[in-house]
Structure formats: structure tokens, C-alpha cells
Amino acid sequence: MEESEKNNLFITFQGVIESIIDDKRKYPKNLKTLNSLDARINLGLHIEEDYIFWVHLIAKDGNYTLGRDKLEEYDLKVISTPEDMMYFSNGENSTLHMILKKNRFGFKKLRFDKGSDGKRNLGLLLKLPKVLVLDKIKME
């Protein structure tokens, strides 16, 4: 993957994550979750069979920062294909679907691993969809 493709992918992914978080901030019911999340997460985007593009998300005191590459010290590592991550973040695929079904490379759609401190952080994994998944809009 060329550097320009990596930059485009990062900018696109960054825009999606920022717009989801901005959208969630519009609803008071989400503010507690958004402001209380304190996490350092490595997000791997499985692009090709033998290549994973790494970005990281740092959440602290309601501020969210997305950066390129892996963090040395992190709380959770998550790997997914970009299209599966898109279907997850728009609410089309549930967490259970992502954990049980396989992607085009034969791996689980959402793979996760413990943090660099050796802790599993399953609570953080369960909280992640509350931050990264768009709320369903109720039509009245």
C-alpha cells in the first residue's frame, strides 16, 4: 500500500470517527459515556490478507484523538476490515455479529486482544460500541 493511499485511508477513517463522536455529543444521554471513557485503543484496519493498517484512539476527559500507528502502551487492541468497521459503526452489524461471523480473510469480523498491561478490558470492549456506533434515529 502506497503512502498516499495510507494517508487517504487515515483521513477518511479520522473523519468518520470524528463525525460519529460529534453526532453523539448532540444528545445529552451520550455525554456521560463520552466524557467518562478513559482509554488508549489500537485499531487495526485489515486491508490486505497480510497487511493491517494501524491507527490509535485516545480518549480522556471527553477529548478524543485519532493518530496513526500503534501505541506502545494501550488498553485494548481491535482489528477489523474497513468495510466491517463501517457496518459496525453505522449500526448495521451488532457487536455479537462482529465477534461471531468471519470476514473475507477468514478471521472474525472483530478481533480483540488484551492491553499491553495484560488485562483483558472486556468492559472497555463493551463500552466501545457506545462511542463508535451511530445512534438509531427514531422516525415519528
Distance, CA of 8 to CA of 11 (rounded, Å): 5
Closest CA to 37 of 79, 6, 65: 65
Class for domain 3-132, per CATH?
A: alpha beta
In the structure grid, which three cell numbers stand for residue 80, read together? 477489523
pLDDT at 138 over 90: no
Q: Give the model's pLDDT for residue 32.
A: 93
Q: What is the pLDDT of residues 119-130, one digit of tens each?
A: 888 889 888 888
Query: Which SS3 state, helix, strand or coil, does residue 87 take?
Result: helix
Cα distances from 55 to residues 14, 30, 120, in angstroms, run 9, 24, 20
Is-contact 132 43, C-beta < 8 A? Answer: no
Residue range 80-89, pLDDT digits in tens: 999 999 899 8
C-alpha cell at 24: 453523539
The pTM of the full predicted model, rounded to 2 decimals, is: 0.89
Alpha carbons 84 and 41: distance in angstroms, whole number: 18
Beta-carbon neighbour count of residue 5 at 10 Å? 11
Angstrom distance (rounded) from CA 88 to CA 133:
7
Return the domain boundaries, the chain: 3-132
